[in-house]
């Protein structure tokens, strides 16, 4: 077992670096500098809502581009004024929500990001009246819903460049009573007829369809998944992206891409369903909205090749502003029209990910105890790593292997600069970059060094950098 040996004999120079007795190999992550995986794609650089409902947008574009913004999503959720409550209330109320959706689409496209449509918002689940209200397919009657789908198909085709648009058929049918209050089968009927309506409309050929966007994690006992998947297969209505939400928090192992990568694969196999790009179109629970959590999610999504959009736990106008809590405002984040934008705890993390981490991605392995994960790049100038212990404390280590590939011979000294991301809230203003925590020297043994992470506060996230010598 090479990794264990490397860990035990890695020599460290500097007092903070002695391996402690509390540390075990299950608390060790690995970075392999000699195995690169292509250019950074910023798979985790997106969020749901979080964009003001005007275009041009009041948030200067550098706030988006510096985090490598890849995808956004909207549909007018929580707008409550007359004329903004969705189809279920009136055609005019649908038009108000479409205006919000279109403004968000234009912002995304102006920045080169793809746009995903929250169709249930345009329909207006938040104004549907709950259990005693009106839902698509009640009493077997989909005629009003079909009319809604025809209207939205026409508006989308007339106003959007469909190559960059995804229609998410229905959000979280299992999160009741908020987004659906009827049976799983009634929702599957909706799903199948919507997919068929879109795919029989040649004007929408370029547009992608996503689903099932079920709120609970995929697995053999998730009845929404096991009801939906065989019928989607049987009707030839498999979406272009499998969408899923991972919002269950840190103590349930099923809300981890490492788990869902396997659980989804076995569901697909069981129902003979084809593979598709996985899109975690809501990731991270509210408690994970701190640097250590953000970094863990970035590293996890990148490893499993899943596209990701950060969840958004804000409400009211803040839901339509503030990038899901990556941004705040100098004075008052609740002042919607104010433009004194400032970084909240997560912003410097995503900025480092989107701007600093250039070159090629290096292969990494998360710690076996699942708490630490690392994302790493090998640039022309420096090796850069983001390390996150998922809202947890302890003594962790990162074994960086393959140093020969970046010009360090055995016995050479590597000077590693450390930075910490110290913010702990989505409201408080922090600095634009991490805090320097100094340089530590390590000598190369067996082509590797071991960086120790003393995680004393559960929210802290880390970046480590050193020069490439070649
Ligand atoms: C197609 O979907 C419908 C639900 O709308 C379902 O009743 C039917 O069984 C499905 N067909 C197949 C072959 O799975
Ligand atoms: C994810 O699952 C797929 C399908 O089972 C598998 O081929 C792949 O190796 C897994 N990815 C990782 C990083 O384990
Ligand atoms: C990346 O590391 C994992 C875990 O050590 C390994 O299974 C995988 O084969 C590596 N990938 C490449 C491309 O070498
Ligand atoms: C990568 O580095 C390891 C030592 O860390 C070495 O054993 C392996 O042969 C190297 N692989 C390549 C492809 O250079
Ligand atoms: C990252 O890049 C920015 C400039 O884009 C720079 O100010 C900063 O010092 C770099 N390094 C870190 C650790 O943030
Ligand atoms: C993280 O630490 C803070 C402060 O000690 C504590 O209030 C919070 O509950 C901790 N979070 C988790 C998920 O353990």
Rounded-to-integer distance, Cα 48 and Cα 115, Å: 10
Residues 86 and 151 in one domain: yes
What's the pLDDT band for 115 if we cut at 50, 70, 90? very high
Is 131 in the same domain as 229?
A: yes
pLDDT, tens digit (0-9, with 9 covering 90-100), for 155-183: 999 999 999 999 999 999 999 999 999 99
Cα torsion angle, 233, 239, 245, 246, sign = positive
Domain count, the chain: 2
Question: What pLDDT, on a 0 to 100 scale, did the predictor assign at position 25?
Answer: 86
Torsion-angle region of 284 (φ positive above 0: left; ψ -120 to 50: alpha; else: beta): left
For 226, the token pair is 């096991």
Q: Is 196 in the pocket of ligand 1 (CB under 6 A)?
A: no
Tell me: the pLDDT tens digits for 397-419? 999 999 999 999 999 999 999 99
pLDDT digits 0-9 by tens, 235-248: 999 999 999 999 99
Looking at the fold, whether 369 and 322 belong to one and the same domain comes out as no
Do 227 and 251 share a domain, yes or no?
A: yes
Q: Which residues of 214-230 are buried (b: 16+ CB within 10 A; e: fewer)?
A: bbbbbbeebebbbbbbb
Q: Is the pLDDT of residue 432 over 50?
A: yes
Coil, strand or helix at 73? strand
The predicted pLDDT at position 17 comes to 37
Tell me: do 113 and 32 sit in the same domain.
no
Of all residues in the chain, what percent carry a pLDDT higher than 90? 94
Return d(Cα 311, Cα 217) in angstroms, integer.
15
Nearest CA residue ID for atom 9, ligand 4: 402
Asked whether residue 232 falls in the same domain as residue 376, the answer is no
pLDDT per residue as tens digits for the range 295-347: 999 999 999 999 999 999 999 999 999 999 999 999 999 999 999 999 999 99
Domain boundary among the residues 353, 372, 390 is at 353
Mutate to test the pocket of ligand 1, among 137, 182, 191, 192 (most ligand atoms within 8 A of CB): 192
pLDDT score, position 21: 39
**Of the residues 353, 386, 418, the one at which a domain ends:** 353
Taking only the tens place, the pLDDT of each residue in 211-221 is 999 999 999 99
Q: If you average pLDDT over every residue of the chain, what do you get?
A: 94
Task: Report the pLDDT averaged over residues 97-109.
Answer: 98
Nearest CA to ligand 3 atom 4: 365
Q: Which percentage of the chain shows pLDDT scores above 70?
A: 95
Are both 177 and 290 inside the same structural domain?
yes
CA 381, 384, 385 angle in degrees (round to 5)?
170
Q: How far is CA 468 from the centre of its chain?
A: 30
Residues 250 and 288 both lie in one domain: yes
Quick one: 244 and 321 in the same domain? yes
Q: Coil, helix or strand for 443?
A: strand
The CA distance from 313 to 382, in Å, is 35
The mean pLDDT value for 171-200 works out to: 97
Give the pLDDT band (50/70/90) at residue 9.
Answer: very low
Residue 22 has a pLDDT of: 46
Same domain, 368 and 461: yes
By residue range, what is the domain housing residue 426? 2-40+361-467
Q: Any idea what DSSP says for residue 463?
A: E
Q: How many A from CA of 432 to the centre of ligand 4?
A: 36
pLDDT of residue 24: 64
Q: Which atom of ligand 3 is nearest to the CA of 35?
A: 14
Of 353, 376, 403, the last residue of a domain is 353
Q: Tell me, what's the pLDDT at 123?
A: 98
Return the pLDDT at 332. 98
Name the burial class of residue 379, with classes exposed (0-12), middle (13-18) and buried (19+) by CB atoms within 10 angstroms of its CB: middle
Q: Name the closest-CA residue to atom 2, ligand 5.
A: 356
Same domain, 296 and 210: yes
Could you tell me the CATH number of the domain that includes residue 262?
A: 3.20.20.80
Cα-based distances in Å from 239 to 49, 87, 228: 22, 24, 12
Give the whole-angstrom CA distance, residue 51 versus residue 69: 12
Q: What is the CATH number of the domain that holds 411?
A: 2.60.40.1180
Residue 189 shares a structural domain with residue 139? yes
The span from the CA of 150 to the CA of 82, in Å, is 23
């Amino acid at each position: 077992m090479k990794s264990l040996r490397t860990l035990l004999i890695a020599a460290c120079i500097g007092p903070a670096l002695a391996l402690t007795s509390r540390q075990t190999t299950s608390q060790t992550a690995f970075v392999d500098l000699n195995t690169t995986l292509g250019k950074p794609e910023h798979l985790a650089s997106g969020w749901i809502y979080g964009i003001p409902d005007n275009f041009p947008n009041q948030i200067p574009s550098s706030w988006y581009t510096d985090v490598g913004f890849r995808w956004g999503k909207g549909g007018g959720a929580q707008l409550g004024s007359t004329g903004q409550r969705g189809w279920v209330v009136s055609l005019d109320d649908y038009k108000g929500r479409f205006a919000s959706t279109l403004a968000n689409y234009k912002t995304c496209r102006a920045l080169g990001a793809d746009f995903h449509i929250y169709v249930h918002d345009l329909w207006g689940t938040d104004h549907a009246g709950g259990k005693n209200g009106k839902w698509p397919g009640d009493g077997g009657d989909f005629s009003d819903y079909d009319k809604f789908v025809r209207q939205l198909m026409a508006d989308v085709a007339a106003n959007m460049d469909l190559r960059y648009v995804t229609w998410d058929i229905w959000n979280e049918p299992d999160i009741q009573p908020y987004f659906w209050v009827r049976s799983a089968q009634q929702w599957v009927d909706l799903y199948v007829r919507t997919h068929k309506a879109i795919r029989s409309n040649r004007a929408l050929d370029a547009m992608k369809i996503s689903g099932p966007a079920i709120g609970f994690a995929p697995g053999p006992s998730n009845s929404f998944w096991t009801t939906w998947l065989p019928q989607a297969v049987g009707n030839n209505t498999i979406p272009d992206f499998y969408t899923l939400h991972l919002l269950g928090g840190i103590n349930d192992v099923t809300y981890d891409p490492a788990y869902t990568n396997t659980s989804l694969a076995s569901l697909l196999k069981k129902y003979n369903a084809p593979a598709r790009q996985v899109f975690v179109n809501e990731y991270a629970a509210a408690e994970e909205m701190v640097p250590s959590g953000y970094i863990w999610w970035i590293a996890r999504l990148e490893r499993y090749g899943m596209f990701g959009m950060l969840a958004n736990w804000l409400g009211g106008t803040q839901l339509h502003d503030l990038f899901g809590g990556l941004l705040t405002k100098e004075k008052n984040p609740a002042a919607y029209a104010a433009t004194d934008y400032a970084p909240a705890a997560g912003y410097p993390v995503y900025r480092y990910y989107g701007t600093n981490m250039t070159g090629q991605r290096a292969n990494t392995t998360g710690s076996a105890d699942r708490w630490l994960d690392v994302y790493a790049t090998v640039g022309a100038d420096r090796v850069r790593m983001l390390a996150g212990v998922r809202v947890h404390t302890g003594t962790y280590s990162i074994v960086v292997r393959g140093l020969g590939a970046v010009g360090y011979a055995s016995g050479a000294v590597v000077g590693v600069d450390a930075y910490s991301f110290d913010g702990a809230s989505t409201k408080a203003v922090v600095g634009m970059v991490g805090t320097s925590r100094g340089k530590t020297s390590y000598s190369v043994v067996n082509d590797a060094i071991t960086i120790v992470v003393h995680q004393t506060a559960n929210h802290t996230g880390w970046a480590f950098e050193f020069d490439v010598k070649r």
